[in-house]
Amino acid sequence: MCSINHDLKAIYIHIHKTGGTAISMILNKHYGFKNYYLHRPDHHAFCFQKTFKKHINYENRFHGVITYYKTSPHLNRKMNMNPYKWDTYFKFCFIRNPYDKIVSAWNHVNRFQIPFKNYLALEKVVNDVEYMHMFMPQYRSMINEKAKEYIDYIGKFENLEDDFLIILKKLGITNFTHDLTKKVNARDHKPFYKYYQDQETLDKVNHLLKEDFEHLSYTKFETLDEFHYQFDQKKNDD
């Protein structure tokens, strides 16, 4: 999904499990953005895949949000967009620590109470909705069709409220009328690092989200001891 405000010349790129539902609702309700959750007429040909029985709009296994929307003349007509606007509008998104995001996504799509470690092995058999939430690297939604990074400001889920205010100020908004402390789609689960109980689980996540660790500003941990020392120590410090 993306949200557009033509007056402010701004586009919000929604990456799953990064606070995006709350942000898109706030942008729509308070700051004049229109939310778009659209399906390309050529979806299956563009995404190089067979049809799933349960398919919801744009989810796929290959293309991130920008490439999916930007390269479709049909969707651009609906959104009143063109290549010039895509290139010149202020584009922003939020990202999240991949180790945390994949646990949050698993908790969101895990309909049959499959343990986290077991679910990591289902990459090739889950449907597109589940795949995009859990296995799609965030970086895929931050690049254009030429695989070039295409985002002007990257906020972090870990600093959501402060970064969101910075973005609004960059857009010239100074009258803040929203309450970002209200959580949407929040679910209760243990701290994410508690789900990494063995080296195999850590290695699997490192492999699945390799693109994010290569391109985003989050540390990849090679050993379980390093991983737990970092997060257990941080928790103790807090």
Q: How would you classify residue 172: left for phi > 0, otherwise alpha for psi between -120 and 50, otherwise beta?
A: left
> What Cα–Cα distance (Å) separates residue 174 from each residue in 20, 72, 90, 168?
21, 34, 17, 7
- Mean pLDDT for the chain overall: 91
* Cβ-count burial 150-159 (b if 16+ within 10 Å, e if not): bbeebbbbee
> In whole angstroms, what is the distance from residue 131 CA to residue 63 CA?
12
DSSP 5-37: ETTTTEEEE--TTSSHHHHHHHHHHHS--EEE-
pLDDT over 80 (residue 182) = no
* Pairing relationship of beta strands 10-13 and 2-5 according to DSSP bridges: antiparallel
Mean pLDDT in residue range 60-72: 94
Question: Mind listing the domains of the chain with CATH numbers?
Answer: 2-188 (3.40.50)
Tell me the two tokens of residue 134.
Answer: 């859990």
Task: State residue 195's pLDDT score.
Answer: 96
Task: State residue 234's pLDDT score.
Answer: 62
Instruction: Please give the single-letter amino acid code of residue 222.
Output: E
Mean pLDDT in residue range 64-87: 97
pLDDT over 80 (residue 53) = no
Q: Write out pLDDT tens, residues 113-153.
A: 999 999 999 999 998 899 999 999 999 999 999 999 999 99
Task: State residue 66's pLDDT score.
Answer: 97
The pTM (predicted TM-score) of the whole model is: 0.92
pLDDT over 80 (residue 51) = no
